[in-house]
Amino acid sequence: MKALLSKAPGGPETLEIADLPDPTPGDGELLIAVKACSINYPDVLIIEDKYQFKPPRPFAPGGEISGVVEAVGDGVTGWAVGDRMLAMVGHGGLSEKVIIDAARAYRLPDGRSHVEGAALLLTYATTIHALLDRGRLKSGDNLLILGAAGGVGLAAIELGKAYGARVVAAVSSEEKAAAARQAGADDVLIYDRAPFDKEQSKALANRFKEALGPDGAQVIYDPVGGDYTEPALRSIGWEGRYLVVGFPAGIPKLPLNLTLLKSCDVCGVFWGAFAMRDPKANAAHVETLFSLWEAGRIAPKVTERFPLAKGGRAIAKMAARQAIGKLVVEIGR
């Protein structure tokens, strides 16, 4: 089989196509013929050895796949050769074949393509956990979303609207603003690119406050970090919840007096650990996502597709924060 491998720490330009022997599933495992693999920000970090998990090299990045069951290991029930599925694999998705734990696989609904299936789990499962479990979002809340045109940002817009929130989407360009509006945002704000000096930070905070109104944000969804975090936190409402999702713009330092003045919570969102610690709750969220998907309330927005040999280009685009929606590498046909 062919795989796009990371053999040494570095950027996407260090990835190499290589031939590997086909793997064999063990007890409780499935061998998957990968049809599509979506690219997410952890793929940028994992090949640079900056992610919290560091697999032994060589390895293929790519944590989110859709494919077809090619072989079934001993002890597996409920799966057969030819079944269509989707799963989170952590890494290894940019390969023609991958082994997964059967318990981590979900059936790809009829009528949905592999490209769509590969674009669902990470962004939407992270977001539903963030908004409901950590953010306690309820109908009528003001929801401010930073980086609102990325994969998790668009998922947050759709899920926020599905649960009755008023959504203010913050993005960095008019093209991204159009994507946020199309996803259903009630208001869209275009911010400048960081870094910000003190006056620019204050001005951005005032723009957030103006867009949110006198009650501020009850929930803030931040998959960006960096210099955007403090201005957003300054716009939070009384007893609001600030959801820390990711740091492509850098890890911020917060003046904690703001949390005291607003009596607000700063909440970390680590969906992968949640899914491992409470698989039943995570499975219930995924079933809810499938229902919302079937009802047309959510729909992964895939904006670009790449062949396996050019998967590094997709990772580079993610690293440059140029992606709108989801980028998907098509592997098998």
Quote the pLDDT of residue 69.
98
Low-confidence ranges of the chain (pLDDT < 70): 333
Tabulate helix, strand, coil % of the chain (nearest 5). Answer: 35, 25, 40
Q: In this structure, are 138 and 12 located in the same domain?
A: no
Per residue in 313-323, pLDDT (tens digit) is 999 999 988 89
Q: In this structure, are 16 and 105 located in the same domain?
A: yes
Q: Cα separation of 180 and 191, whole Å? A: 14
Q: In this structure, are 137 and 220 located in the same domain?
A: yes
154 and 187 in contact (C-beta within 8 Å)? Answer: no
Q: Cα separation of 174 and 11, whole Å? A: 28
Quote the pLDDT of residue 333.
63
Q: In this structure, are 111 and 181 located in the same domain?
A: no
67 and 114 in contact (C-beta within 8 Å)? Answer: yes
Per residue in 204-251, pLDDT (tens digit) is 999 999 999 999 999 999 999 999 999 999 999 999 999 999 998 899
Q: Is position 157 within any domain?
A: yes
Q: Which value, in Å, is the radius of gyration of the alpha carbons in the chain?
A: 20
Q: In this structure, are 74 and 144 located in the same domain?
A: no
Q: Is position 285 within any domain?
A: no
CATH of the domain at 325: 3.90.180.10
Percent of the chain scoring above 90 in pLDDT? 95
Quote the pLDDT of residue 73.
96
Domain count, the chain: 2
Secondary element (H or E) of residue 202: helix 198-212
Q: Is position 185 within any domain?
A: yes
Quote the pLDDT of residue 71.
97
15 and 6 in contact (C-beta within 8 Å)? Answer: yes
Q: Range of 157's domain?
A: 122-272
Prediction pTM value: 0.93
Per residue in 81-116, pLDDT (tens digit) is 999 999 999 899 999 999 999 999 999 999 999 999
